[in-house]
């Protein structure tokens, strides 16, 4: 039982709501346009969760074997760092998760496209493989892109564009312009979550030679970048509601601007990296809240 709880902790459940934010939005848009399918929605969520858990396990393994997770690190203690799970055990867990992710991806692609949409089925199978490789290669391997300042780019692509636009295509079999601005919004906020994590770990990452964008930009400029991410997400989502207003509920998601602005105030005033850790959960949940409230107008 104790080992099970350690594995659950290693999966970092607090990151999971953020990972399905795009799926929720795409599902709401599909419902509004008459394309919604519960089976596609369920398997899209399960597949996305498997990708996120895989990413979390791989991140723990990659940083653990490289020595990046050490006593200088501020965030929650990781599995390999604590010695509660061996590198071999975690690597086996990653391999099992890859098998699960591939199985769920195949099921999702078949349910969504069957044999009628062969081109789309092939395209999404390639996207699924790319997602799995991206999840693993963030910190694992000599050329891990998370150690070269490229994490932000991949998070924007997969958590934003692929999550929202791609999921909508699963339902509607076509791209709809209504999904573009929300996809950018979720992508920017997801990058902000990663950036906040890197801001918290900037000192230990620098010592471990993990070159994140926070390390590249430095403590002052990375705050400017963080402000740009959040404020851009607010502006773009605001533009979305102006262009695609359908009823008063369309404005309801702007409630999430309040915690976002409070978050920015705390970041700008912060001088202690360890105090950034509680903000991670708040920002992730606020992104989830924004997606739910933005999609709500399309369900009424």
- Per-residue pLDDT, averaged over 18-22, amounts to 95
Site of tokens 């700008």:
268
In a domain, 9, yes or no: no
Whether 203 and 70 have beta carbons less than 8 Å apart is answered as no
Q: Kindly tell me if the per-residue pLDDT of 199 is higher than 80.
A: yes
In a domain, 10, yes or no: no
Q: What is the pLDDT of residue 198?
A: 92
In a domain, 219, yes or no: yes
- Per-residue pLDDT, averaged over 259-278, amounts to 92
In a domain, 88, yes or no: yes
Give the residue ranges of DSSP H helices in 114-212: 118-137, 151-155, 167-172, 180-200, 202-207
Phi, psi of 148 (to 5 degrees): -125, 20
- Per-residue pLDDT, averaged over 220-246, amounts to 96
Q: What tens digit of pLDDT does each residue of 39-94 get?
A: 999 999 999 999 999 999 988 888 877 766 666 666 666 767 766 788 898 999 99
Q: Kindly tell me if the per-residue pLDDT of 33 is higher than 90.
A: yes
Radius of gyration of the chain (CA): 19
Q: What is the pLDDT of residue 256?
A: 96
Range of the domain at 271: 17-296
pLDDT category of residue 124 using cuts at 50, 70 and 90: very high
Number of domains into which the chain is organized? 1
Least confident stretch, 192-206, 218-232, 255-269 = 192-206
Q: What is the pLDDT of residue 72?
A: 62
Distance CA 264, CA 247 (A): 29
In a domain, 3, yes or no: no
Q: What tens digit of pLDDT does each residue of 102-119 get?
A: 999 999 999 999 989 999
Cβ density class 193-227: b for 16+ within 10 Å, e for less: bbbbbbbbbbbbbeebebebbbbebeeeebbebbe
Site of tokens 């050329």:
143
In a domain, 4, yes or no: no
In a domain, 2, yes or no: no
pLDDT category of residue 2 using cuts at 50, 70 and 90: low
Structure tokens at 121: 């089925």
- Per-residue pLDDT, averaged over 231-239, amounts to 98
Q: Kindly tell me if the per-residue pLDDT of 275 is higher than 90.
A: no
Whether 114 and 91 have beta carbons less than 8 Å apart is answered as no
pLDDT category of residue 32 using cuts at 50, 70 and 90: very high
Q: What is the pLDDT of residue 274?
A: 83
| Angle, alpha carbons 230-285-224 (nearest 5°) | 20
pLDDT mean across residues, the chain: 91
Q: What percent of the chain has pLDDT over 90?
A: 71
Longest dimension (CA), the chain: 57
Q: What DSSP letter does each residue of 242-291 carry, written as one string?
A: HHS--SGGGGGGGGGHHHHHHHHHHHHH---GGGGHHHHHHHHHHHHHHH
Q: Kindly tell me if the per-residue pLDDT of 1 is higher than 90.
A: no
Q: Which of 148, 147, 170 is nearest to 45 (CA)?
A: 170
Distance CA 92, CA 85 (A): 11
Q: What DSSP letter does each residue of 88-127 carry, written as one string?
A: HHHHHHHHHHHHHHHHHHHHHHHHHHTTT-HHHHHHHHHH
3-state secondary structure of 86: coil
In a domain, 12, yes or no: no
Whether 202 and 273 have beta carbons less than 8 Å apart is answered as yes
Cβ density class 49-65: b for 16+ within 10 Å, e for less: bbbbbbbbbbbbbbbbe
Q: What is the pLDDT of residue 70?
A: 60
- Per-residue pLDDT, averaged over 242-271, amounts to 94
């Amino acid at each position: 039982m104790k080992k099970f709880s350690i594995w659950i902790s290693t999966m970092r459940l607090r990151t999971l709501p953020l990972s399905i934010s795009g799926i929720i939005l795409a599902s709401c848009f599909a419902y509004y346009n008459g394309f919604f399918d519960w089976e596609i929605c369920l398997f899209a969520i399960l597949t996305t969760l498997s990708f996120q858990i895989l990413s979390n396990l791989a991140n723990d393994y990659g940083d653990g074997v490289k020595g990046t997770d050490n006593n200088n690190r501020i965030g929650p203690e990781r599995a390999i760092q604590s010695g509660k799970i061996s590198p071999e055990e975690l690597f086996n867990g990653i391999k099992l998760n890859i098998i699960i992710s591939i199985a769920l991806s195949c099921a999702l692609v078949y349910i969504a496209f069957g044999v009628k949409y062969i081109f789309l089925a092939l395209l999404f199978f390639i996207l699924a493989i790319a997602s799995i490789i991206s999840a693993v290669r963030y910190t694992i391997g000599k050329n891990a892109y998370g150690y070269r300042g490229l994490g932000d780019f991949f998070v924007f692509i997969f958590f934003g564009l692929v999550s929202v636009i791609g999921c909508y295509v699963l339902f509607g079999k076509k791209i709809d312009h209504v999904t573009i601005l929300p996809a950018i919004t979720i992508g920017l906020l997801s990058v902000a979550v990663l950036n906040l994590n890197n801001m918290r770990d900037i000192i230990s990452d620098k010592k471990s030679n993990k070159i994140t964008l926070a390390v590249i930009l430095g403590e002052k400029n990375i705050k400017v970048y963080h402000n740009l991410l959040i404020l851009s997400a607010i502006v773009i989502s605001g533009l979305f509601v102006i262009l695609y207003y359908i009823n008063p509920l369309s404005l309801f998601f702007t409630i999430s601007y309040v915690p976002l602005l409070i978050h920015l105030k705390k970041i700008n005033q912060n001088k202690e990296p360890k105090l950034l850790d509680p903000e991670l959960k708040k920002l992730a949940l606020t992104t989830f809240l924004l997606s739910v409230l933005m999609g709500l107008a399309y369900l009424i």
